[in-house]
Every structure is written in structure tokens, then in C-alpha cells.
Amino acid sequence: MTSTFRALEASETEGKFSLKIVEKNIADLPEGDLLIKVDFSSLNYKDAMSASGLPGVTRNYPHTPGIDAAGKIAESTVPDFKEGDEVIVTGYDLGMNTSGGFGEYIRVPPNWAVHLPKGLTAKQSMSLGTAGLTAGLSIHALDSFREYAGLKNTKSVVSGATGGVGSISVMLLSKLGSEVTAVTGKNDQSDFLHAIGASNILSREELAETARKPIGKSLWDVGVDVASGEILSLLLTSLSPGGAVACSGLVGGPSFESSIFPFILRGNALIGIDSVEIPLKDKEHIWEHFAHDWVLEGLDKSTKEVSLDNLEVEIESILSGNQVGRVLVKI
């Protein structure tokens, strides 16, 4: 086995951050029982934050980002994993302060890794990545809140619908039989949103005109929100009795305004979604869904594949708000 590997490294010089491909030593990876040869990763907003030095993600540089990785076990010191096993690693500290999936090798503890389910390829798993995991957890939480009555014939709303979590939520809700309204700030992406399963499309401005505070018409049974801020406030005022919104992001800011009315007059709920630190068994459950009953036929068409060498352009794109769908990284 080689002793060095290629990785995308973010470094800081006099307060300015830059990216370059470097050769790293496997011996310099952090301690851990699993050495994994990475085949695919994916690009998430948190990766772009880490790569550009935005606060709240990575403390020390130089650093290799990448909160997602799928590949094969190269070395293992634990019985649950053996050389050649295909695995998925998402979240925990990977790509934050632990060298991440934008390199050819990672070394992690065994309680960060799940076996790749039968029926799912490594490429498919990273076309989903943390964004897909978050979307899946959101839909699972909404179904659970409805006491597993299913989402067929419901009306749903998804904010940030052209992004990673949003686009997969649209696809999944549509597959499960929900009539999906996609909320987007990208008014030129109607064809994309209809193609992945959206029945209706609202601009942010149209949402503001449609929804009313402190409580408005009952428009949707369930919602998936990645924005927070004003959009989350509007979604909460527009739920049907017994409805819920699953929230997993804060691109619209960390705060939102709400009255008590949706909660005490309609029995609505706001459900927080964490896809990073949750127990491994909860991640395994969602990956099994994607391998079997949640197979998304349109995922390939909404995913752009890039190499490690071309990743910097995509990082700039996601930071400027121009990413549509998912970015798969072939390592």
C-alpha cells in the first residue's frame, strides 16, 4: 500500500485562505481503528465553509475538508470491519477538525462508519451524502409525527428547493405521493424543479404574499425547511391542523419570528433535524431506506460529478448561492 496520498488542502496565510492539491502522508492521519480508501465524497455547504475559513466549522489549518466519504476499508483493527468492506462515513468530526473526505484516505473510529447497504453503490451514497441523509431524516421525522400514516396525498412545501437537502426532499416527497410546492430564490430553475418532482413553484416573494402572520390559511400538511429566518416564520403560519415543519438549516439566519398561535390553535410542530451527531443506528436506518424503498430514479440527473482537481470551482459556486442539485466528488 502507498504511504502517501493526494488531498485538497485549505491553508491560511495572513488571514487569507487558499486551496491546493497536496501530497500527504498516511502516517500523519489522526489515530483511528479504520483506514479507508476513499472512492467518492460530496460537496456540502459546511465543506465550503471549512474550505474558505468561515467561522464555526474548522479551528486549525492547514486542513482537508469533506464531511462525507464512501470507500473501502484498507486497514482495520476491529472485528466488525475487514479489509475490502465498503463503508460510508458522514458527519461527526469528519472534515471539520479531522482530515476529511476530500483526500484519497481517511482514518476514523469504527463508530463513525456504516457498512454500505446492499442495493446502494458508493457512488449513489455520495450523490446523496449528508444532504440526502438530512432530507431522509426530515421526511422520516415528518412521517413519524403523523404516526406513520404515510405522506401519500399530502400537500408539502420545501424551501431552498434547488439545493442539496431541498432537491432531495422534493424528489423523496414526490416519490412518496405528496404534492410538493418548491420555494426557491432561483426563478430560472422551474424546469429543474418540475423535473425532480415539484408540482408547484413559489418564489420567495410569492411565499411572502401567500403566507400571512401571525397565522394564515392552511396550505400545507408538512414542510422541509433549510432556510430558517423569515421563510421558516412564513411556513409555520401556513400549516394545516396537525402539520409540522422539519428544519435543518440556517442560510436565512439563526433566528426566526413566530407567535404561539400555530402551536396552540392548530397543534403544529417544529422539528429540529441533526444529521451530524445522531446515533449511528439512526443513520443506518436512513441508508437502508435509500437502498430499498426510497430509490430516487432522478438522482443522477440532478447530480454533477467532478474530480478533486475541479472541486475549487464548485466550492466557489456553492458559497455564492449558485449550486443547483448535488455535487459528487470522484476522489
pLDDT at 55 over 90: no
Q: With contact defined as beta carbons under 8 Å apart, do 72 and 37 qualify?
A: yes
- Which is more confidently placed, 38 or 56? 38
CA quadruple 318, 323, 327, 331: dihedral sign: negative
The structural domains of the chain, ordered by start, are 4-116+303-330 (3.90.180.10), 129-272 (3.40.50.720)
Tallying the residues shown for the chain, one arrives at 331
- pLDDT tens per residue, range 243-287: 999 999 888 888 898 999 999 999 999 999 999 999 999 999 999
pLDDT at 120 over 90: yes
| Beta-bridge mates of residue 72 | 37, 86
According to the model, what pLDDT value does residue 270 have? 97
**2 band by pLDDT with thresholds 50, 70 and 90:** confident
Place of cell 438549516: 249
Number of H helices, E strands in the chain: 9, 15
Q: With contact defined as beta carbons under 8 Å apart, do 135 and 172 qualify?
A: yes
Average pLDDT over residues 55-79: 95
- DSSP symbols for 206-249: HHHHH--SS-----EEEEEES--HHHHHHHHTTEEEEEEEEE--
Average pLDDT over residues 157-169: 96
Q: With contact defined as beta carbons under 8 Å apart, do 261 and 215 qualify?
A: yes
Does the pTM of the predicted model rise above 0.75?
yes
CA distances (Å), origin 213, targets 216, 249, 258: 6, 22, 8
Q: Which residues contact 139 (CB under 8 A, 6 or more apart)?
A: 151, 169, 172, 173, 176, 224, 246
